[in-house]
């Protein structure tokens, strides 16, 4: 890790807020205001100290309000006049908003920014949600579907089976790991202790969604919000302390599927390389990773695409146990998208919040032992929009 960051200025995550994820009665506005209010207060700031707001939200017709940027101003009248921008980059909208906030700090146009990620999905029908999510796919945008991206990631799983052998049992092990981790996360949508045998077996409670993906291989449709304050001028009155941004990276891949190897996740690999290079760290320096496991097959492929294991060796990685919370590199100690939930625009911000909680030893029952450096990986579409951040404890 570099003694000083390559950013030219120290950027801190200074406060955060997080609602529970799940099927909630709260409105989109309720979720945004609750998480934003908590984040500003936790940063030891007043609403008038915020210079810009960035809201990550995908929406894509899932929620009727298509113009949500100013919802955070409902926190306080003191936010009147603060520039607020909605950021959309499919399922990476949250991390895209984080990186836009970083950009404002680096540009010198702000000293403290509020970043919010939020999505209200459960009030829409399965067909509406499926069609909305497919708006992030080049070939299927505009089509009607009740399975949405499950069909696309099922094709990835079949490609993996063809190239490396049957991964069904490995996916079940990943699902069981996610459920076990989420039991310790009070914000998680699915706090259910489902073991490998349950996740492996197709049943009435665990039906096949799209072969070979079972329900336990898929993240749920969730409501929720998360928020954080990024600053170059931290208050001495923060609630939980500070986390430093060491590096970040973004890389976009081509939209047409024929231009992408379904098992390469090449854009994710490049964003990962850019972020770790900027941070001056290697995978061996990381204490844990929060990565984008919208489906269990995504987590398996990412082990390989990010260089955490060799191509085709993700199967043995799970068997060896190193991604578990007591392994050498815990993956998704929060439960990940798979079990924590996946309110699309909130996901990337939530991942940063979960990492910050670990690095400040405020993660409660989720807490790992003395983590120092974390990576956050968030992607939109089938690894088309890719964002990675590297965070460090002080």
C-beta separation of 349 from 95 below 8 A: yes
CA distance 154 to 172: 14
263, 269, 271, 277 alpha-carbon torsion, rounded to 10°: 180
Catalytic residue (choose from 18, 91, 199, 377) = 91
Helices 344-359 and 93-107: crossing angle, nearest 10°?
60
CA angle 311, 94, 383 (to 5 degrees): 25
The tokens of 180 are what? 């076990």
Q: Is 199 assigned a catalytic role?
A: no
Q: What are the beta bridge partners of residue 377?
A: 388
**Integer angstrom CA distances of residue 237 from 33, 45, 225, 324:** 21, 8, 24, 35
Q: Is 91 assigned a catalytic role?
A: yes
**SS3 of 204-255:** CCCCEEECCEEHHHECCCCEEEEEEEEECCCCCCCCCCCEEEEEEEEEECCC
Catalytic residue (choose from 342, 352, 377, 387) = 342
- Helix, strand or coil, per DSSP, at residue 174: helix
C-beta separation of 84 from 72 below 8 A: yes
Concatenate the DSSP letters of all residues of 35-77 into one string.
HHHHHHHHTT--GGG--EEEEE---TTSSS----GGGGGGG-G
CA distance 53 to 387: 19
Catalytic residues: 91, 342
């Amino acid at each position: 890790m570099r003694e000083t960051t390559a950013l030219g200025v120290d950027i801190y995550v200074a406060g955060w807020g997080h609602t529970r994820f799940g099927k909630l009665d709260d409105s989109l506005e309720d979720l945004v205001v609750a998480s934003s209010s908590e984040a500003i207060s936790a940063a030891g700031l007043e609403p008038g100290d915020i210079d810009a707001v960035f809201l990550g939200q995908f929406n894509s017709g899932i929620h009727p309000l298509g113009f949500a940027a100013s919802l955070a101003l409902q926190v306080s009248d003191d936010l009147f006049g603060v520039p607020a921008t909605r950021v959309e980059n499919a399922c990476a909208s949250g991390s895209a908003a984080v990186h836009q906030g970083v950009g404002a700090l680096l540009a010198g146009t702000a000293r403290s920014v509020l970043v919010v990620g939020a999505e209200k999905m459960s009030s829409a029908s399965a067909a509406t949600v499926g069609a909305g999510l497919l708006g992030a796919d080049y070939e299927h945008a505009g089509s009607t579907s009740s399975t949405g991206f499950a069909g696309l990631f099922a094709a990835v799983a079949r490609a993996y089976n063809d190239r490396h052998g049957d991964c069904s049992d490995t996916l079940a092990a990943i699902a069981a790991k996610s459920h076990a981790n989420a039991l310790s996360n009070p914000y998680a949508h699915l706090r259910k202790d489902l073991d490998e045998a349950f996740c492996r077996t197709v049943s009435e409670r665990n039906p096949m969604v799209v072969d070979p993906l079972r329900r336990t291989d898929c993240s749920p449709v969730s409501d929720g919000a998360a928020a954080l304050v990024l600053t170059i001028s931290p208050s001495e009155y923060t609630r939980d302390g500070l986390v430093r941004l060491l590096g970040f990276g973004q890389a976009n891949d081509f939209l047409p599927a024929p231009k992408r190897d379904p098992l390469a996740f090449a854009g994710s690999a490049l964003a990962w390389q850019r972020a770790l290079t900027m941070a001056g760290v290697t995978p061996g320096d990381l204490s844990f990773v929060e990565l984008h496991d919208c489906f269990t097959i995504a987590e398996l492929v990412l082990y390989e695409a990010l260089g955490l294991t060799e191509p085709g060796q993700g199967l043995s990685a799970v068997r060896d146990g190193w991604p578990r919370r007591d392994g050498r590199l815990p993956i998704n100690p929060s439960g990940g998208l798979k079990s924590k939930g996946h309110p699309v625009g909130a996901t990337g911000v939530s991942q940063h919040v979960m990492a910050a909680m670990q690095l400040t030893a405020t993660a409660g029952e989720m807490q790992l032992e003395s983590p120092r450096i974390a990576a956050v990986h968030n992607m939109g579409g089938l690894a088309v929009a890719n964002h990675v951040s590297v965070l460090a404890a002080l």
